[in-house]
Structure 1
Amino acid sequence: MPRTALYTGTFDPVTNGHLDVVRRAARIADKVVVAAGIHSSKTPIFTVEERLEMLREACAPAVEEAGAEFEVATFSGLAIEAARRHGATIIVRGLRDGTDLDYEMQMGAMNETMAPDIHTVFVPASPAVRPITATLVRQVAQMGGDVSAFVPPGVARRIEARFQSRR
């Protein structure tokens, strides 16, 4: 039976840390669905359409290289419901540090209570991407800094264009 993994996030912007998690997910699943969240409490710098384009551009080659199928989607509400909609039996979560672990363990336990057939798999961040967060990337970009070491090249170009237009 094919295994589908779901990886959710805001992806505003897509970072090398996100790409690291997607690459690892492609090693354990036959299909990887990356779902960008739509949350009314957040004001992203990129539209959901732009985030989906960045995900396609940055992640599809890595997933396909691993021999898995790739899909991008959006979701609002519970990740577990998005997993059900996409037929995912695995929810993949990246861990950078102990703070991530504490939060993700609680969330994973709640998800497993709601859907025992869907398992959460934790992926520790590679050392090279461990310090990267989308929040820090946005802050550096807003202050005119170079974010090219933290995001895929196409994303870096979009960030540069976005913040040049705001100056």
Structure 2
Amino acid sequence: MRIGLYPGTFDPLTIGHVDIITRACRMVDRLVIGVAINEGKGPLFSLDERVAMIENEIGAIAAAKNTEIVVHPFNNLLIDCARDVGAGIIIRGLRAVADFEYEFQMVGMNRVLDAEVETVFLMAEARHQAIASKLVKEIARLGGDISKFVPAAVAAKLGEKY
């Protein structure tokens, strides 16, 4: 069984994330969405809220792609999380050159820690490249329309927060 790990904070889940999840299903039999607890980043949504938002979206994707998708919170090294869930592939989404520079360093470190775990990059679809959770939160906080950036249920949750 090919198991992939798609990690992130998902604060909040965007349509860019959903796109990567959908496309990652083509490469694996089981996709684990690793939700980083990462309290140091000061997430807007609690871990439970982030997990629930993801779980709300993945059912239809899993059925359509005939892939098992599970959500797995983690608070350890990414490479250790990959080992914990049996993933041989870490899936990362890239939007811009700045993403690549950071991800390139992470891959190098992870390869030293465990050379058996591969990292695969998926370029964001052109229409999603500008979407960043941080910017979505800022638009929502200032009363802007976020409906083009997040699933409807996530937009509603952001509306409750702001």
SS of residue matched to 1:52: helix
Aligned residue-pair number: 162
Taking the aligned partners of 1:59 and 1:150, their CA distance within structure 2 comes to 17
The TM-score normalised by the length of structure 2 is 0.97
Taking the aligned partners of 1:75 and 1:7, their CA distance within structure 2 comes to 12
Partner residue, 1:81:
80
Displacement after TM superposition at 1:64 (Å): 2.8
Displacement after TM superposition at 1:44 (Å): 1.2
Q: Would you say the 8 A contact 1:13–1:46 is kept in 2?
A: yes
CA deviation map 1:42-77 (0-9, x unaligned): 211111001001001122321331111010010112
Q: Which amino acid aligns with 2:118?
A: H
The TM-score normalised by the length of structure 1 is 0.94
SS of residue matched to 2:92: strand
Unaligned runs of 5+ in 1: none
Structural RMSD (CA): 0.9
Identity %: 39
**Residues 88-107 of structure 1: pairs in structure 2 closer than 5 A:** 88-107=87-106
Runs of 4 or more above 6 Å deviation: none
SS of residue matched to 1:128: helix
Q: Which amino acid aligns with 2:62?
A: V
Q: Would you say the 8 A contact 1:32–1:63 is kept in 2?
A: no
Partner residue, 1:37:
36
Partner residue, 2:113:
114
SS of residue matched to 1:41: helix
SS of residue matched to 1:27: coil
Partner residue, 1:68:
67
**Residues 1-167 of structure 1: pairs in structure 2 closer than 5 A:** 2-163=1-162
SS of residue matched to 1:72: strand
CA deviation map 1:59-116 (0-9, x unaligned): 2321331111010010112111111000000000000011111111111121112111
